[in-house]
Amino acid sequence: MAAVDGPDQPAEDRTPSPWTDERFLLLLDTLPYPAFVIATGSQAVYYNTQFVAFVGFRPGSRPADRTVLHHPDDHGVLEAARDVGVASDSEYVVEARLRRYDGAFRWHRIHNKPLFRDGSRIAYLGTAVDVDDSRTLNDHLERRVLERTAELQAANVRLTTEEVRYRDLYNRTPIALHSSDKNGNLVDVNDTWLEMLGFERHAVIGRSPSVFMTEASAQIFHTRAWPEMLASAGMVRAVDYQFVTAAGRVLDGRLAARGVFDENGRLIRTWCTIADITAEKQAEAALRQAQRLDAIGQLTAGIAHDFNNLLTAILGNLELAARPGPQNEERRLRLIAGARTAAERGAALTGQLLAFSRQQRIVAEPLDVNRVVENMRPLLTGSVGAEFELTLHIGQDVPKALADATQLELAVLNLVINARDAMGTGGRITIATRLATAGAPARPEEPEPGDYVTVAVGDDGPGISESVRDRMFEPFFTTKAVGRGSGLGLAQVLGIVKQLGGGLQVCAYPGRGTTVSMFLPLAGDVGTLGVVLADRTVAALPARRWRILLVDDDRDVRAATVLMLREAGHTVTEVESGAAALDACARSDGRFDLLLTDVAMPLMNGLELAAQVRAGYPGIPVLFMTGYSDERLFASDTPEMVLPKPFRTQDLEAFVARALSPLAVARPNEVASEGVCPR
């Protein structure tokens, strides 16, 4: 606060000064930042409550009492700005460091504006807004918001009566101000309030501030903010709302309010400010969008890296195997096996990605989780090694859970391997099952409230830090050495349990180990999930040839599938689209025993094709094959089978056998007359 020099107030002037006006002082105390009044003669006559709270005490009135609050390096800047302003009786703004109650200096924008009476300056009104963070972070959007809330312009008119002086100060303040009565209705608004929202004064007085808010904000005002104000006991409360201007524009505003209460604790009136924080909200939204794009970029880069490695192995092995000239048959088979192994790794990677994105088709069934875990004991023991102690705690009376057995085994194995790698040279791994009740989730990966069967995998390793805890479910994030992990294990486990309707809970403390618990829904909750219940019964088929209509828009996939089916002895008609399939049926005199179709195809997808074929012949078996499918396309009670891509010959034969098993049992020696495509 720069000192102000000037003559003392004439003795004959008995007009009350603004700082003797209780309403003026109440207005200053309502401000969310330090404010002060320096009278002529450089004497401080008032410090508001925010000023006292910041410096930790109420300074004296002398200039020296204020000088000690400034950083020594800023004295020259303050004095120069003061001299220019005082010499011309004009306002001046200066940025300087102000000492906080704990001794720390923080940058403030100090704005001094002269107050006049009868053409003579009688005092300076100053405000000090903390701009330390904006200077440090160079965040111009935040600076704009802070500066808008920092600029208090006092009245600069001839003050003739107490009401005129108060009204001029109130209306010239560049922050939206209003006051409400005990019922929450507006009794006064300043000019800035009217300018910001675009209304006339007569249209707002007597109405609730919620009238000028969006419906959602009005709900918050009535159900939460106003009841809290009634119980606030005079404390300043701030809530963010969305206001609607007279022109229909929606702006974000932060409403800070303080209530005035009588001796019985009943609300009399509220004093409020509204700051336009639209720019701040837009900046936050832009930051969130940038973070999402960054995550997508990291995911894309990770996928490209892993698949480039796999394609290098596949192309290299196949190129070597296809080189002309004599070569050892054992070497050729080894090269082909290397290409196949890389392709299978690619298939496993896409399965992990689909599980992470919750697009993997889960075949769920009521499972005895205790039995699944017990049966995995030999596999888990061999996976962790002799230097680790594996302990199972099987819960009593644990009901069946709804899960995919294969996916559950993969999830448990993933968690056990992670626990082993976390401990390094040895330790104890514990697997426990039980029936548990989940409360309200504290993190996104945790389950919704309810009863679940839990499988918990714990270790006594070093635990994890909070920074790793926040990122452990990100795809491709790993703390393991290069080549030791893809960073998809935990993301895959989360995708599996979330797709089933459960969740994960992590308990981890540095130096005390980590426990990851999978929450699986009870088998009785099957009706609420978008999963396909398993039907693992396959009737034995007699050795015979079947007529199969194959539909796939990918030529290479179609050619490979045709070869697999024909080598198995089947007769195959291949087409590239749903329309071509219907046309082939119309032109063919043959009878098809099975419709084998891709799901994701242009113009007409596999489900739409199957529906048209079944419209006339509902008994025809359908087998879908897909590398990616939207779960929303399949109802939870749909019995169709889905063959995941990529698949091998034995996978294709097994799924075809399963799809045709009811047909073969019904008529083992002939093709059913109804198994014909519509003509």
CATH number at residue 450: 3.30.565.10
Among candidate residues 124, 159, 194, the one where a domain is terminated: 159
Q: What is the pLDDT of residues 200-240, one digit of tens each?
A: 999 999 999 999 999 999 999 998 888 888 887 778 888 89
- At 664, is the pLDDT very low, low, confident or very high (cuts 50, 70, 90)? very low
Say yes or no: 518 and 567 in one domain: no
Least confident of 121-135, 268-282, 462-476, 503-517: 462-476
Residue type, 396: Q
Q: What is the pLDDT of residues 127-155, one digit of tens each?
A: 999 988 878 776 666 556 556 666 644 43
Residues with Cβ within 8 Å of residue 31, at least 6 apart in sequence: 48, 50, 127, 152, 273
pLDDT at residue 630, rounded to an integer: 53
Closest CA to 241 of 208, 207, 201: 208
Task: Indicate the helix (H) or strand (E) that contains 536.
Answer: none
Say yes or no: 209 and 345 in one domain: no
DSSP-derived letter for residue 541 is: P
Say yes or no: 370 and 498 in one domain: yes
Say yes or no: 22 and 56 in one domain: yes
Say yes or no: 445 and 587 in one domain: no
325 part of a folded domain: yes
From residue 3, alpha-carbon distances to 25, 60, 152 in Å are: 20, 13, 19
Say yes or no: 31 and 141 in one domain: yes
pLDDT at residue 674, rounded to an integer: 36
Which pTM does this prediction carry? Answer: 0.39
10 part of a folded domain: no
Q: What b/e string do you get for 631-643 counting C-beta neighbours within 10 Å, with b at 16 or more?
A: beebeeeeebbbb
SS3 content of the chain, % helix, strand, coil (to 5): 40, 25, 35
pLDDT at residue 355, rounded to an integer: 52
**Domain interval for residue 70:** 18-159
pLDDT at 252 over 90: yes
> Residues 501, 521: contact at Cβ < 8 Å?
yes
Cα-flanking dihedrals φ and ψ of residue 570, to 5°? -90, 155
The average pLDDT across 672-676 equals 35
Q: What is the pLDDT of residues 20-60, one digit of tens each?
A: 778 888 888 888 999 999 988 888 889 999 999 999 999 99
1 part of a folded domain: no
**Mean pLDDT, the chain, integer:** 78
The average pLDDT across 412-426 equals 81
Q: Assign 3-class secondary structure to 126-152.
A: EEEEECHHHHHHCCHHHHHHHHHHHCC
> Residues 160, 153: contact at Cβ < 8 Å?
no
User: Rounded distance, CA 59 to CA 70, Å?
Assistant: 13
Q: Assign 3-class secondary structure to 469-495.
A: HHHCCCCCCCCCCCCCCCCCHHHHHHH
pLDDT at 93 over 60: yes
DSSP-derived letter for residue 395 is: P
- Neighbouring CB atoms inside 10 A of 657's CB total 16
3 part of a folded domain: no
Say yes or no: 569 and 643 in one domain: yes
Among candidate residues 533, 565, 586, the one where a domain is terminated: 533
From residue 293, alpha-carbon distances to 108, 142, 288, 487, 632 in Å are: 36, 23, 9, 19, 25
Q: Assign 3-class secondary structure to 436-472.
A: EEECCCCCCCCCCCEEEEEEEEEECCCCCCHHHHHHC
419 part of a folded domain: yes
Say yes or no: 515 and 425 in one domain: yes
Among candidate residues 511, 533, 555, the one where a domain is terminated: 533
| Number of domains, the chain | 5
Interstrand relation of 514-521 and 622-626 (parallel, antiparallel or unpaired): unpaired
The average pLDDT across 442-451 equals 88
pLDDT at 358 over 50: no
Say yes or no: 529 and 631 in one domain: no
pLDDT at residue 363, rounded to an integer: 65
pLDDT at residue 2, rounded to an integer: 54
- At 411, is the pLDDT very low, low, confident or very high (cuts 50, 70, 90)? confident
pLDDT at residue 104, rounded to an integer: 93
Task: Indicate the helix (H) or strand (E) that contains 303.
Answer: helix 278-321
Say yes or no: 515 and 599 in one domain: no
User: Rounded distance, CA 136 to CA 255, Å?
Assistant: 26
Strand order in the sheet with 237-244: 186-189, 176-180, 267-276, 250-261, 237-244
What is residue 535's three-state secondary structure? Answer: coil
The enclosing domain of 22 has a CATH number of 3.30.450.20
Q: Which two tokens stand for residue 349?
A: 């990677």
539 part of a folded domain: no
The enclosing domain of 346 has a CATH number of 1.10.287
> Residues 591, 671: contact at Cβ < 8 Å?
yes
Say yes or no: 492 and 610 in one domain: no
167 part of a folded domain: no
Residue type, 54: F
Q: Which residue in this structure is represented by tokens 């970029």?
A: 297
Residue type, 580: A
672 part of a folded domain: no
Residue type, 631: E
Say yes or no: 323 and 296 in one domain: yes
* Strand spans (E) along 263-370: 267-276, 363-367
Least confident of 27-41, 193-207, 269-283, 345-359: 345-359
